[in-house]
């Protein structure tokens, strides 16, 4: 077992770190304050190849492994949680299912412009009445001649409105089991922005990751070509679940990055800030807190990297992804809360970045499967 | 068209300068980076490549770990890389360094050689013009813009209060200012490819038309008599006063020192 | 390197840079330094003047202390280009064999110097800030090997001003150095002083190294030269905006100084690069240097630490600028600077 990164990954980290410090960090505070989607950063990331890192070169990607992609999300999130999730949702939730389940035509048509960053991707599963319990979903798709007709709405969609390509999960049939219970069967669809009948509802005003564009999607007799179904009809639920397994590693990396960023700030601040005539880093309370945070972050990083490597080598990696996300998200929340405490009053004001990090951290315990869902996945595997 | 870019791995002195507890410079604690002027030169070469399909080769002289900057250059888009490394080359001043690099470049074809104006560790700005002199080709220093036009290049040569637009027939050598451009980032895929490629490693025996007496410490006409980390002027007084008292304090000092 | 007969090389030479038939200030600064070195070596100072129709500049060089002036006057030298100039200077060196050759570390000198040193096969030390005559090695070697006397010891900063090295060129001649403008002191000119004038022309034949000048664009320089200012009111990132530099301009006006700035200010587009002090800007040594809202990055300090009096105002009590300030005031520049301007105005009006 080797826990050190090879030269390729070391250099990739240096690249992501340089980019984050130079291009992303200066905008982070303003993007949060004004709830503005950082389009200019996305354009720069497209140029630098960050929008298709784990995508094979034949589809316009960088041909790197999932670990490289995860390190990108991690480094971006160190300075700006918003930027981290833009890349994560685009890559894990939109490109990945098309690459995994798409036909060659779909890959050529959709993956290439997504991987080069010419287009941005999003994923739509959650509905007002169906969060953790996907069976509560209402959005339907009906085949009408050469077109699928979608009706319903999706909510809390990351990259909503700014994305060009949406993976949408919708009910395509309802069957009864032997006991007469109704079961909704889902299918996955690729929906282009601008499809007739596809519009956007209100923009969500969020606690954190405020520069990320979160919208409601509305489908009113939305017509898309028949060939835009992704994977076999009726297999939408397993496709969504498998997609979320990958997505969770991305969110775990986001959480990890937020925690690392907060710890970096804490180290710098506690060395500078003087109370009672000496730096607060000279006080044992601070030192022990920093030590605990560093150890916990290291553990989170190992889980996240292990999950990324599992994704590269295994067909199924649900448990690895769930453990990584559970632990990294709770680490992010715990670390950022501690860091705000170490900053004292300065931690609570917006001039310093750590209160933003604490707000950004919270969502990682919620989206793409709450911490409770991750525990269900992990325990389910233990007890099966 | 073939372009050679000479690059150097340097300690990052910008922002990240670290000192040991005894006040000396902590060289090991500083990041090793591609020299900024050289990176601008590489970017200029890559832009010519983007336009014309030129082949870009990067060359460095240094320790084996300078392999890192060559990989970085390839990850940005350079096609080939050459590392000139040999223990006998150590301790070279600019004269011996330029002699060595010229000896390496005599082995390869080039139309255009680009070097950075100067390296941030030595700040000499000498190696570029000296390579040109050893190779017998024209040099244009301080380039703020480079364009290729047929078998010539047009360069905006910067001076303190003016610039000259110069035209030189290739082959020639240009030294690049970091103001020339904003270098591109590496790409993740470029990094993976860079580590799959070979770096050509040359030693003393590979240098063409170079005398033993012209390389390394022995071949360096300049010798270091003394080197020390700079002892800075000590801090004077520091006061924390309210604005009115601050002004009175400054006025007092200006009078005391006969400024007013 | 080939063994040279060092005894043939005599005299301290300086390259008398001229642009548009105006002698650059650095030429006079070099003469000032060369006079000191020549005294220690018991020799004289020769200025090398290259150009076209530049005979009228000879007397100025004499007045600032040149004992001899070698003039290469040729139409090829109308405007600076590396090749004809390098040929001219290298030919002068080969013909007259100076012991020391000093060149200004200007955009011209830092091109001409290395080209010529490579051509005449000698060492060159760049951007020197201290030049003196001494022994090399500095102390007699324990192994009994030769300690050379009367060597040019060239001291220069490196590593972005973080280290300083003293360099000698013991086995090759001339001992060449480029010297940072603004560091050496000019002598007071002696009106009517004359120098021995030697006209020399090595002949110029075009070769592949000649480049063509297509265009010359002079960039508007309406700004004051911060290197000549006795008092500099210098602002950094802490000033906050281009508009807020008015506070510093007002102070500068009242106290008879000039505004300058740190790199951050130039990067933010608040002031032009001509005003920048520091490693990538200009080296200044005024009588008084106000550092206002300047954190004091090492690159900045490298350009101003020779100032006689440094007064720093910064709200961050840990700003490194306080480590080099004679007088440091922790406080809000927006309150202190206007009040200081007002008090100065009143104090100076009383006189």
Q: Mean pLDDT throughout A359-371?
A: 97
pLDDT > 90 fraction of chain A, expressed in percent and rounded: 88
Indicate whether C142 pLDDT > 90: no
CB contact under 8 A, B191 and A12: yes
The tokens describing B95, both together, are: 């004269």
Predicted confidence at residue A10, as pLDDT, reads 95
* Angstrom distance (rounded) from CA A374 to CA B1: 57
The tokens describing C350, both together, are: 């009383």
Contacting C residues, span 114-133, partner chain B, CB-CB under 8 Å: 114-115, 117-119, 121-127
Whether the CB-CB separation of A51 and A69 falls below 8 Å is answered with: no
Of the candidates B121, B133, B225, which has its C-beta nearest C118's C-beta? B133
pLDDT band at B231 (very low <50, low <70, confident <90, very high): low
Residues of chain B positioned with their CB less than 8 A from the CB of C79 = 164
Predicted confidence at residue A295, as pLDDT, reads 98
* Angstrom distance (rounded) from CA B67 to CA B191: 13
Q: Mean pLDDT throughout C209-238?
A: 86
Q: Mean pLDDT throughout C272-286?
A: 85
Q: Mean pLDDT throughout A51-78?
A: 98
Predicted confidence at residue B160, as pLDDT, reads 84
Predicted confidence at residue C342, as pLDDT, reads 94
Choose, out of A5, A6, A7, A8, the residue to mutate when testing the contact with B (most B CBs < 10 Å).
A8
Predicted confidence at residue B129, as pLDDT, reads 97
Of the candidates B185, B187, B191, which has its C-beta nearest A8's C-beta? B191
Distance set, CA B14 to CA B3, C35, C291 (Å): 29, 37, 20
Q: Mean pLDDT throughout C160-170?
A: 84
C43 SS3 class: coil
Predicted confidence at residue B140, as pLDDT, reads 97
- Cβ of residue C346 closer than 8 Å to a chain B Cβ: no
Q: Mean pLDDT throughout A185-202?
A: 97
> B196-213, pLDDT tens digit by residue?
999 999 999 999 999 999
* Angstrom distance (rounded) from CA A10 to CA B194: 13
C181 SS3 class: coil
Q: Is residue B248 part of a domain?
A: no
Strands C327-330 and B237-240: parallel
Indicate the helix (H) or strand (E) that contains B205.
Answer: none
Indicate whether B15 pLDDT > 60: no
Contacting C residues, span 307-326, partner chain B, CB-CB under 8 Å: 309-311, 313, 317, 322-326
Q: Is residue B133 part of a domain?
A: yes
pLDDT > 70 fraction of chain B, expressed in percent and rounded: 92
Indicate whether C160 pLDDT > 80: no
Q: Closest Cα to residue A19, out of C281, B123, B191?
A: B191
Residues of chain C positioned with their CB less than 8 A from the CB of B115 = none
Q: What is the pTM for the complete model shown?
A: 0.86
Q: Among all chains, which residue has been given the structure tokens 């505070």?
A: A29
Helix extents (H) in A37-180: 39-47, 66-79, 81-88, 96-101, 104-106, 112-115
> A138-179, pLDDT tens digit by residue?
999 999 999 999 999 999 999 999 999 999 999 999 999 888
Q: Mean pLDDT throughout B163-175?
A: 96
Whether the CB-CB separation of C250 and C341 falls below 8 Å is answered with: yes
Query: How many residues can be counted in chain C?
Result: 351
Indicate whether B235 pLDDT > 70: yes
Whether the CB-CB separation of A231 and A239 falls below 8 Å is answered with: yes
CB contact under 8 A, A49 and B188: yes
Distance of CA C70 to the CA centre of its chain: 22
Predicted confidence at residue C183, as pLDDT, reads 81
Residue A241, judged by CB atoms within 10 A of its CB (0-12, 13-18, 19+), counts as middle
Indicate whether C221 pLDDT > 60: no
- Cβ of residue B71 closer than 8 Å to a chain A Cβ: yes
The tokens describing C339, both together, are: 């009040």
Predicted confidence at residue C215, as pLDDT, reads 95
The tokens describing C208, both together, are: 């592949």
* Angle between the N-to-C axes of helices A39-47 and A81-88, in degrees from 0 to 180, rounded to the nearest 10: 60
A105 is catalytic: no
State the nearest Cα–Cα gap between B15 and chain C, in angstroms: 7
Residue C272, judged by CB atoms within 10 A of its CB (0-12, 13-18, 19+), counts as middle
* Angstrom distance (rounded) from CA B84 to CA B74: 16
Strands (E), chain B: 2-6, 9-11, 32-34, 55-61, 80-84, 112-116, 139-149, 152-158, 162-169, 172-176, 200-202, 223-229, 237-240
CATH code of residue B155:
3.40.50.620
Q: Closest Cα to residue B139, out of B178, B169, B97, B106?
A: B169
Q: Is residue B105 part of a domain?
A: yes
> B87-113, pLDDT tens digit by residue?
999 889 999 999 999 999 999 999 999
Indicate whether A128 pLDDT > 70: yes
Q: Mean pLDDT throughout C271-292?
A: 87
- Cβ of residue C331 closer than 8 Å to a chain B Cβ: yes
CB contact under 8 A, B185 and A48: yes
The tokens describing A202, both together, are: 């209100």
The tokens describing A347, both together, are: 């931690």
Predicted confidence at residue C351, as pLDDT, reads 64
Phi then psi for residue A284, to 5 deg, are -65, -35
**Which of the other chains make 3 or more beta carbon contacts under 8 angstroms with chain B?**
A, C
Strands (E), chain A: 121-124, 140-144, 147-158, 165-176, 182-192, 198-203, 214-225, 229-230, 274-275, 278-279
Q: Is residue B147 part of a domain?
A: yes
Indicate whether A237 pLDDT > 90: yes
Q: Mean pLDDT throughout C330-348?
A: 93
* Angstrom distance (rounded) from CA C97 to CA C79: 26
B75 SS3 class: helix
Indicate whether B23 pLDDT > 70: no
Contacts of residue A253, Cβ cutoff 8 Å, sequence gap at least 6:
A70, A71, A73, A74, A77, A84, A88, A304, A308, A328
**Which of the other chains make 3 or more beta carbon contacts under 8 angstroms with chain A?**
B
Of the candidates B17, B123, B247, which has its C-beta nearest C127's C-beta? B123
Contacting A residues, span 33-62, partner chain B, CB-CB under 8 Å: 47-50, 53, 57, 61-62
Predicted confidence at residue B14, as pLDDT, reads 58
A246 SS3 class: helix
Residues of chain B positioned with their CB less than 8 A from the CB of C230 = none
Whether the CB-CB separation of A173 and A234 falls below 8 Å is answered with: yes
Residues of chain B positioned with their CB less than 8 A from the CB of A75 = none
- Cβ of residue A117 closer than 8 Å to a chain B Cβ: no
* Angstrom distance (rounded) from CA B39 to CA B61: 15
Q: Of B44 and C165, which is predicted with more confidence?
A: B44
- Cβ of residue B15 closer than 8 Å to a chain A Cβ: no
pLDDT band at C282 (very low <50, low <70, confident <90, very high): confident
Indicate whether A130 pLDDT > 90: no
- Cβ of residue A5 closer than 8 Å to a chain B Cβ: no
Q: Is residue B113 part of a domain?
A: yes
pLDDT band at B226 (very low <50, low <70, confident <90, very high): confident
Predicted confidence at residue B26, as pLDDT, reads 67
For residue B11, give its domain range: 2-214
pLDDT band at A181 (very low <50, low <70, confident <90, very high): confident
Predicted confidence at residue B120, as pLDDT, reads 82
Predicted confidence at residue C223, as pLDDT, reads 56
Predicted confidence at residue B17, as pLDDT, reads 59
Q: Residues A74, A127, A260, A368: which is the catalytic one?
A: A368
Of the candidates A18, A19, A57, which has its C-beta nearest B189's C-beta? A57
DSSP letter for A20, please. Answer: I
pLDDT > 70 fraction of chain A, expressed in percent and rounded: 100
Strands A147-158 and A140-144: antiparallel
Residues pairing with C225 in the sheet: none
- The lowest-confidence range among A54-68, B217-231, C243-257 is B217-231
pLDDT band at C23 (very low <50, low <70, confident <90, very high): very high
Helices (H) and strands (E) in chain A, counts: 14, 10
Q: Of A172 and C274, which is predicted with more confidence?
A: A172
Q: Mean pLDDT throughout A57-78?
A: 98
Q: Is residue B225 part of a domain?
A: no
* Angstrom distance (rounded) from CA B156 to CA B151: 17
Of the candidates B159, B226, B260, which has its C-beta nearest C165's C-beta? B226
CB contact under 8 A, A15 and B195: no
DSSP letter for C49, please. Answer: E
Residue C265, judged by CB atoms within 10 A of its CB (0-12, 13-18, 19+), counts as buried
The structural domain count of chain B equals 1
**Quick check: ipTM above 0.90?**
yes
Q: Among all chains, which residue has been given the structure tokens 């700005």?
A: B125
Predicted confidence at residue A300, as pLDDT, reads 98
The full DSSP string for B120-142 is TTT----HHHHHHHHHT--EEEE
Contacting B residues, span 178-197, partner chain A, CB-CB under 8 Å: 184-192, 194-195
Residues of chain A positioned with their CB less than 8 A from the CB of B187 = 48-49, 62
C194 SS3 class: coil
- Cβ of residue A11 closer than 8 Å to a chain B Cβ: yes
Q: Is residue B260 part of a domain?
A: no
- The lowest-confidence range among A370-379, B19-28, C325-334 is B19-28
Residue C155, judged by CB atoms within 10 A of its CB (0-12, 13-18, 19+), counts as middle
Dihedral sign computed on CA atoms, order B91, B93, B95, B99: positive
Whether the CB-CB separation of C23 and C60 falls below 8 Å is answered with: yes
The average confidence (pLDDT) of chain A is: 95
**Largest Cα–Cα distance in chain A?**
78
> C169-191, pLDDT tens digit by residue?
999 999 999 998 878 889 999 99
Distance of CA B78 to the CA centre of its chain: 17
CB contact under 8 A, C117 and B139: no
Q: Is residue B93 part of a domain?
A: yes
C31 SS3 class: helix
> A257-314, pLDDT tens digit by residue?
999 999 999 999 998 787 777 888 889 999 999 999 999 999 999 999 999 999 999 8
Predicted confidence at residue C161, as pLDDT, reads 67
- The lowest-confidence range among A326-335, B169-178, C100-109, C282-291 is C282-291
Q: 3-state DSSP helix/strand/coil percent for chain C, to nearest 5?
A: 35, 30, 40
Q: Closest Cα to residue A79, out of A233, A264, A309, A305?
A: A264
Residues of chain A positioned with their CB less than 8 A from the CB of B68 = 11
Q: How many CB atoms lie within 10 A of CB A344?
A: 12
CB contact under 8 A, B162 and C110: no
């Amino acid at each position: 077992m080797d826990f050190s990164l090879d030269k390729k990954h070391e250099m990739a980290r240096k690249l992501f770190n340089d980019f984050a410090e130079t291009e992303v960090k200066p905008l982070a505070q303003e993007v949060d304050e004004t709830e503005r989607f950082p389009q200019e950063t996305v354009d720069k990331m497209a140029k630098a190849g960050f929008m298709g890192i784990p995508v094979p070169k034949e589809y316009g990607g960088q041909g790197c492994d999932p670990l490289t992609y995860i390190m990108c999300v991690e480094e971006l999130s160190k300075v700006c949680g918003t930027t981290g999730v833009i890349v994560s949702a685009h890559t894990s939730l939109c490109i990945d299912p098309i690459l995994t389940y798409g036909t060659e035509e779909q890959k050529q048509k959709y993956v290439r412009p997504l991987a080069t960053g010419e287009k941005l991707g999003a994923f739509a599963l959650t509905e007002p009445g169906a969060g953790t319990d996907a069976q509560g979903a209402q959005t339907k798709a009906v085949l009408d001649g050469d077109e699928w007709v979608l009706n319903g709405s999706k909510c809390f969609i990351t990259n909503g409105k700014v994305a060009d390509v949406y993976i949408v999960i919708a009910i395509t049939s309802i069957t009864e089991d032997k006991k007469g219970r109704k079961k909704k069967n889902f299918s996955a669809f690729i929906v282009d922005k601008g499809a007739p009948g596809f519009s956007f509802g209100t923009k969500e005003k969020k606690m954190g990751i405020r520069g990320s564009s979160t919208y409601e999607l509305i489908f009113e007799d939305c017509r898309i070509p028949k060939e835009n179904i992704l994977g076999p009809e009726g297999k939408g639920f397993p496709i969504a679940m498998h997609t979320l397994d990958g997505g969770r590693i991305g969110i775990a990396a986001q959480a990890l990055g937020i925690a690392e960023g907060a710890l970096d700030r804490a180290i710098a601040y506690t060395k500078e800030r003087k109370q009672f005539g000496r730096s607060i880093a000279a006080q044992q309370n601070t030192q022990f807190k920093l030590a605990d945070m560093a150890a916990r972050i290291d553990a989170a990083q190992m889980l996240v990297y292990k999950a990324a490597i599992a994704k590269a080598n295994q067909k199924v990696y649900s448990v690895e992804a769930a453990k990584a996300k559970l632990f990294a998200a709770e680490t992010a929340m715990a670390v950022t809360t501690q860091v705000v405490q170490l900053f004292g009053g300065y931690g609570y004001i917006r001039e310093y970045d750590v209160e933003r990090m604490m707000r950004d951290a919270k969502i990682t315990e919620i989206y793409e499967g709450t911490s409770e869902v991750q525990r269900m996945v992990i325990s389910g595997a233990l007890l099966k | 068209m073939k372009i050679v870019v000479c690059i150097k791995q340097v300690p990052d002195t910008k922002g990240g300068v670290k000192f040991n507890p005894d006040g000396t410079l902590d060289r090991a604690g500083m990041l090793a980076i591609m020299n900024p002027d050289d990176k601008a030169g590489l970017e200029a070469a890559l832009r010519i490549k983007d336009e014309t399909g030129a082949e870009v080769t990067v060359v460095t002289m240094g320790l084996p770990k300078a392999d890192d900057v060559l990989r970085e250059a390839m990850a940005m888009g350079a096609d080939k890389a050459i590392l000139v490394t040999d223990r006998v080359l150590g301790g070279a001043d600019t004269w011996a360094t330029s002699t060595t690099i010229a000896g390496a470049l005599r082995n390869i074809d080039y139309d255009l050689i680009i070097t950075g104006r100067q390296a941030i560790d030595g700040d000499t700005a000498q190696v570029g013009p000296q390579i040109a002199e050893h190779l017998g080709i024209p040099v244009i220093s301080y380039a703020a813009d480079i364009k290729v036009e047929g078998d010539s290049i047009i360069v905006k040569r910067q001076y303190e209060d003016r610039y000259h637009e110069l035209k030189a027939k290739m082959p020639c050598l240009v030294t690049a200012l970091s103001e020339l451009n904003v270098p591109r980032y590496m790409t993740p895929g470029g990094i993976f490819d860079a580590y799959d490629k070979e770096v050509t490693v040359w030693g003393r025996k590979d240098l063409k038309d170079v005398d033993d007496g012209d390389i390394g410490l022995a071949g360096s006409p300049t010798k270091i008599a003394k080197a020390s980390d700079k002892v800075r002027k000590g801090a004077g007084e520091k006061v924390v006063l309210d604005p009115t008292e601050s002004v009175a304090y400054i006025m007092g000092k200006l009078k005391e020192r006969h400024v007013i | 390197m080939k063994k040279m007969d060092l005894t043939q090389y005599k005299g301290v030479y300086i390259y008398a840079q001229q642009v548009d038939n105006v002698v650059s200030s650095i030429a006079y600064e070099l003469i000032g330094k060369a006079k000191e070195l020549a005294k220690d070596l018991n020799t004289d100072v020769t200025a090398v003047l290259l150009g076209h129709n530049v005979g009228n500049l000879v007397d100025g060089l004499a007045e600032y202390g040149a004992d001899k002036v070698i003039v290469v006057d040729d139409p090829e030298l109308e405007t600076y280009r590396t090749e004809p100039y390098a040929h001219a200077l290298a030919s002068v060196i080969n013909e007259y064999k100076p012991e020391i050759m000093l060149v200004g570390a200007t955009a011209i000198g830092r091109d001409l110097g290395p080209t010529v040193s490579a051509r005449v096969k000698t060492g060159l030390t760049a951007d020197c800030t201290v030049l003196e005559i001494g022994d090399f090695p500095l102390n007699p070697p324990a192994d009994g090997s030769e300690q050379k006397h009367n060597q040019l010891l060239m001291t220069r900063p490196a590593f972005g001003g973080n280290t300083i090295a003293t360099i000698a060129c013991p086995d090759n001649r001339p001992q060449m150095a480029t010297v940072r403008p603004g560091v050496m002191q000019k002598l007071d000119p002696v009106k009517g002083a004359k120098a021995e004038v030697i006209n020399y022309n090595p002949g110029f034949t075009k070769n592949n190294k000649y480049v063509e000048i297509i265009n010359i664009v002079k960039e508007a320089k309406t700004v004051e030269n911060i290197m000549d200012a006795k008092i500099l009111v210098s602002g950094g990132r802490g000033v906050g905006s281009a508009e807020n530099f008015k506070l510093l301009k007002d102070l500068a006006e009242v106290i008879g100084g000039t505004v300058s700035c740190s790199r951050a200010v130039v990067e933010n587009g608040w002031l032009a690069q001509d005003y920048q002090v520091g490693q990538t800007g200009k080296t200044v040594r005024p009588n008084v240097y106000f550092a206002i809202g300047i954190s004091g990055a090492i690159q900045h300090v490298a350009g101003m630490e020779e100032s006689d009096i440094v007064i720093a105002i910064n709200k961050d009590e840990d700003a490194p600028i306080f480590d080099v300030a004679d007088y440091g005031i922790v406080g809000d520049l927006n309150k202190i600077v206007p009040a200081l301007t007002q008090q100065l105005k009143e104090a100076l009006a009383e006189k």
